[in-house]
């Protein structure tokens, strides 16, 4: 049988190559060109006021923390409330600026629990870092309200949230329409890394609410230089003079990644819709088997909101998680863990034991295969193999028997 990967990107190769060919034909493959075009298309798609294309989402998170630290006069050792259930880049971005990650616990959605956020606020709290795991947003609105009441910035790690949309008031008359999650945050950062919903090879986007923050990010991402090469070259005559008012970083995106992003963006909603269909199949088959050991993570979005469905995570209880993953691997089905409780890592071990729910969930969590190369029969195979591995599996409740039973009715 064919192997099923946990995540696998899909590219519209011919269209991508045509976009890249334009970069090569014009000899503009670095910063500018297609990368700027992608920024404009992303703003049109997301309705976010600013968008700066970068080499990674990690770079975007670092810039957000750095810019806010300087803007608001934070001191080394000040605190940012964050989640232990995330990829380490989220929390590394806080350490880059000599700030302290303070870990709040998560709820059943895998996202920050607002009550735990409140419990962890001190006189040194300067911001909250919110992560939307797998496309879920949990109790995001409550967390945002807490930040507003406390007068502290909200940074959203939206690495999994490209295309996750919820209702927003758009006119003075109260008209509503869906908007990209993060429109109301002080900074929201997206990942376009190779296995994300909008895959390039590796890149990201930082979107600030404030125009001056966006300008600062553009300068810092180009080593602190006040004019980009693209801007200097495209003003009619090449102006080689510039100033360097800041010590910055080599964080900017490039035209080749922008070219890939332009094509992928055209299909983002369509691709997310297909991911949702696969997720609904998972829900259906797990519901049919009714396995006590398996608990899929619920979709926390309601009404006409749109879920990106970057991941399909489940909890496998009774200490069977690692056993099930190993058995699935032997059968050619590869899963992931998103994520290990960060307080188990040595650099964050000072907080070990402070987030009991995140620690418990982390020990039970599996991300099942979910990508655009899968079919409904692949989903069914994954679920049947999991059921076959579990000691509680009852052949009388098999998917095939369940389907036949329903057909007879």
Sequential DSSP letters for 226-270: SS-HHHHHTSSS--------S---B-B--HHHHHHHHHHHHTHHH
**Is the pLDDT confidence value at 166 over 60?**
yes
Residue 6: inside a domain: no
Contact 109/300 with Cβ under 8 angstroms? yes
The domain in which residue 171 lies consists of: 13-266
Same domain, 309 and 239: no
DSSP 156: E
d(CA 134, CA 85): 11
The closest alpha carbon to 106, from 114, 95, 98, belongs to: 114
d(CA 257, CA 102): 34
Same domain, 260 and 281: no
pLDDT for 236 = 57
Query: Which among 233, 266, 299 is the end of a domain?
Result: 266
How many residues belong to the chain?
409
> How far apart, in Å, are the Cα atoms of 94 and each of 76, 99, 105, 125, 126?
11, 6, 17, 13, 11
How many of the other CB atoms lie within 10 Å of CB of 351? Answer: 16
Mean pLDDT along residues 30-52: 97
pLDDT band at 407 (very low <50, low <70, confident <90, very high): very low
The rounded percent of the chain whose pLDDT value lies above 70 is 92
d(CA 276, CA 374): 12
Contact 308/272 with Cβ under 8 angstroms? yes
Residue 4: inside a domain: no
pLDDT tens for residues 341-379? Answer: 999 999 999 999 999 999 999 999 999 999 999 999 999
Torsion, CA 276, CA 279, CA 281, CA 286, rounded to 10 = -160
The closest alpha carbon to 268, from 88, 9, 1, 4, belongs to: 9
Number of folded domains in the chain? 2
pLDDT for 303 = 78
Same domain, 198 and 281: no
pLDDT for 229 = 63
Query: Which among 241, 266, 291 is the end of a domain?
Result: 266
pLDDT band at 136 (very low <50, low <70, confident <90, very high): very high
Mean pLDDT along residues 288-297: 94
pLDDT for 299 = 86
pLDDT band at 393 (very low <50, low <70, confident <90, very high): confident
Q: What is the CATH number of the domain that holds 319?
A: 3.90.1150.10
For residue 29, what are its two tokens? 């493959």
pLDDT for 301 = 86
Contact 138/112 with Cβ under 8 angstroms? yes
DSSP 178: E
Which parts of 137-198 are beta strand (E)?
154-157, 165-169, 176-180, 187-191
d(CA 288, CA 300): 21
Query: Which among 225, 245, 266 is the end of a domain?
Result: 266
Contact 51/44 with Cβ under 8 angstroms? no
Same domain, 215 and 242: yes
Mean pLDDT along residues 45-61: 97
Same domain, 183 and 262: yes
Mean pLDDT along residues 292-303: 89
**Is the pLDDT confidence value at 406 over 50?**
no
Same domain, 257 and 130: yes
Same domain, 182 and 52: yes
As beta bridge partners, residue 35 has: none
pLDDT for 404 = 43
pLDDT for 394 = 72
Q: What is the CATH number of the domain that holds 32?
A: 3.40.640.10
**Is the pLDDT confidence value at 405 over 60?**
no
pLDDT for 243 = 87
């Amino acid at each position: 049988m064919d192997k099923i990967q946990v995540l696998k990107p899909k590219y519209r190769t011919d269209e991508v190559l045509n976009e890249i060919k334009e970069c090569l034909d014009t000899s503009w493959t670095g910063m500018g060109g297609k990368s700027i075009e992608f920024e404009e298309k992303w703003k049109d798609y997301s309705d976010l006021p600013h968008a700066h294309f970068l080499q990674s989402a990690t770079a975007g998170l670092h810039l957000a923390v750095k810019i806010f630290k300087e803007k608001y006069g934070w001191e080394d050792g000040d605190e940012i409330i964050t989640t232990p259930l995330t990829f380490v880049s989220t929390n590394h971005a806080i350490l880059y600026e000599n700030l302290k990650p303070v870990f709040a616990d998560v709820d059943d959605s895998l996202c920050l629990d607002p009550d735990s956020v409140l419990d962890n606020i001190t006189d040194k709290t300067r911001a909250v870092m919110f992560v939307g795991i797998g496309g879920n947003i949990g109790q995001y609105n409550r967390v945002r309200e807490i930040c507003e009441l406390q007068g502290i910035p909200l940074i959203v790690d939206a690495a999994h949230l490209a295309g996750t949309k919820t209702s927003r008031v758009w006119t003075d008359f109260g008209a509503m329409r869906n908007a990209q999650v993060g429109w109301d945050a002080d900074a929201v950062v997206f990942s376009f890394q190779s296995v994300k919903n909008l895959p390039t090879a590796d890149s990201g986007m930082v979107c600030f609410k404030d125009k001056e923050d966006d300008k600062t990010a553009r300068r810092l991402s180009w080593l602190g230089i006040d004019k980009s090469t693209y801007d200097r070259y495209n003003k009619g005559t090449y102006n080689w003079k510039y100033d360097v008012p800041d010590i910055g970083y080599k964080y900017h995106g490039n035209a080749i990644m922008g070219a890939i992003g332009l094509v992928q963006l055209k299909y983002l909603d369509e691709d997310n819709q297909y991911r949702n269909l696969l997720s609904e199949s998972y829900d259906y088959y797990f519901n049919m088997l009714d396995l006590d050991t398996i608990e899929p993570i619920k979709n926390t979005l309601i009404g006409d909101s749109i879920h990106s469905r970057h991941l399909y995570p489940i909890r496998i209880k009774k200490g069977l998680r690692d056993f099930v993953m190993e058995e699935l691997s032997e059968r050619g089905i590869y899963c992931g863990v998103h994520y290990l409780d960060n307080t188990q890592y040595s650099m964050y071990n000072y907080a070990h034991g402070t987030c009991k729910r995140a620690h418990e969930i982390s020990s039970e969590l599996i991300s099942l295969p979910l990508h655009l190369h899968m079919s409904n029969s692949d989903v069914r195979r994954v679920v049947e193999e999991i059921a076959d591995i579990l000691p509680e599996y009852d052949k009388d409740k098999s998917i095939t028997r369940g389907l036949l039973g329903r057909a007879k009715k």
